[in-house]
Structure 1
Amino acid sequence: MGKKARIIGVNMIPFTKPGNQEPYPVMAAKAVKGALEDAGLDYSEIQQAYASYIYGDSTCGQKALYKVGMTGIPIFNINNNCSSGSTALFLARQAVESGLVECALAVGFEEMQPGALKSHWDDRISPVEWLQERLVALWPEVPQAPRAIRLFGGAAEEYLEKYGVNPDIFAKVAVKTRSHAIQNPYSLFSKQLTVEEVMSSPKLMPHMTRLMACPPTCGAAAVIVCSEGFAKKHGISNPVEIVAQAVTTDMDVTHDNIINLVGADMTRRAAKQVYESAGIGPDEVDVLELHDCFTPSEVIIYEGLGLCEEGGAEKFIHDGENTYGGKVVVGPSGGLMSKGHPIGATGLAQCTELVWQLRGQAQKRQVENARIALQHNLGLGGACVVTMYRLG
């Protein structure tokens, strides 16, 4: 397990609003074929595949990959809520580093419906019901709203009350993110925003507006992972190393406050594992893609990843440390907020962006001299995946 896996092929298709997408097998096949072309491989060289999605029947992974080829390899279907794509990558990396296979594929895809996320299984106990029950216990007057909006809106209220910061920090994050998105041809939104526009958009919760929330989208992304020997054998000159990776789930401390309910503690523990394993700390990270499903989430994640001290996000944002010319460029792709969040594809799209950044292929949004990249992908219910990359 001492050898580090390499990423040799990545691809994503531009995300679209629900109703404008191609069928998931078509989107997924396009993403996979693009990743194979990027790596210079034939599909017959893939030994295992991990397919991530949350909206769909069993074996959607097989349906999607059969459009690329029917080679008899093991195909695993992954559902780990919003962290599904990164979980698929974790399993592909683990298979390679264990020596079980030399080359594995992770592909994520999603066809979503308009509007807020909702369950399609109302005839059984919800896996996130306990989060909602704890939210009400911590904030009895929580307004009625879709469950994710309630949770992240509650975290926003708790953060503001705990640290006494200006509520416009959540709007400033949205403005920063959109300023990055306008340089990305893969972004769903490309219109610049102002703080005033974000603050005055329709309210979802007391201090969270519609322009502080990511849109439901459809799309696909794919990543090819291999051993160092496989990369050398195939003459890959620019592999990206997965330096360290960690997956965490909830602990009893999650119940303590709303900020932990939306993944703060999972983030801290995953980040700590990655930094210790890599021997590389947050101050050395050049570029970061994180799970900004709502802008309050991004603010909380800054602290969970150790980019600033606890309660220090307001100054971090005010000083421009989260963008070009600052400490670390956060969300050069436009993030979930502007690029979109097709759940099963999100983690692999984040990986694709970071590989492009490390290779120097990110065009107008390129982070200068990007050496160390970090990825954060979070799913409530719950799982958090943190991954560190570097070229070589």
Structure 2
Amino acid sequence: MPLFVHVLSLAVFAQGTSEFMLSGLVPGITRDLSVPTGAAASLTSAYAVGMIVGAPVMAALSARWSRRRALAGFLTAFVVVHVVGAVTASFSLLFATRIVAAVVNAGFLAVAMSVAVTLAGPERQARATAVMLSGVTLSCVVGVPAGALLGEWSGWRAAFWAVAALCLPALTLVFRSAPTAAGTAAAVDLGREVRELRSGPVRQAMLLAALVNGATFAYLAVIATEVAHLPDGVVPGLLAAFGAGAFAGVTVAGRTGDRTTRRGLLLALGALPFGWGVLAVAGTEPVPLFAVTVVQGGLSFGVGSLFVHRVMAAASGAPLLSGSYATVALNTGAFLGPLLAGLVTAVTHDYRHVAWVSAVFAALALLAAVRAVAVQPSTGAAPRP
């Protein structure tokens, strides 16, 4: 695997830490800026929406830039808005910085995904996708708990400074090592690339990636505190356990993904709704909760990375925007999963339903994948649901 793909993963780790650590910083932001808890929590939703909108827009706007200029520009903007967020006393400005951070994060990820699979070559595209997503999983294992602890010890602003500092090594390496030629003006036909969205396989792969990710991010921490009644201090450990499983899942998927059969993918996908159901029933006890969390992390990110790879492969006719399509799919799920889980639990007041919402998302993904297999001829090779 080219070294630069790992450089991109380092940047994704910093950006993932920024995205997910915010849930642990809400109390400090609420106190420091004198805003309601709901307003502070809305920073998370703002980030998700910014990612969804930003991926295709930023990828299109940067179409005529060299890949080095695009990657360095997005990452520089990401650092700057975190510095602004760390020093501001205005909640409105902080909210604006989160939207800008999400938009440039989405732009970076969209370009980085396309660059990574191009550098990896046809035989290692699934592995390149997994290496990129491993940055996200490591942010769950290390970055998010560390951000929560740093916020508790030194305040939420210190966590913003830490993210900005974490980006600097990757930014230096991007300036030194990023490719300069890919995606130049002469090679770009944005109209043709946008028309790839009309392709059935592209939309199908995006739907599957969104459903699996919607199940993955439906408020796992709430189950720990409201169902198992564990203390708040245990939540970072639970997220780290989930992240450890996720890292193992994307690692396995990266090494086997290009030769995974449809049957193997469907078996793994079929285990997901079952696992979420087990979590809903047995999540009241700490040991089953942690055990199932690790397994679900591995299955969710392993299967999810294969579907991200599938989006990129199905959209091969859109080499510039394929990464943005994958980014949109992931973040649509990350936005809709928590939203639906929140609506359901607001009505039922039973937080076990968070896991049942995840089970429904995963079951819908399984049904969609089975339907896709039923209408496509089998090749016995790479997965195509």
Q: Give the TM-score normalised by structure 2.
A: 0.28
- Give the number of the structure whose residues are more often strand, by fraction: 1
- Give the number of the structure whose residues are more often helix, by fraction: 2
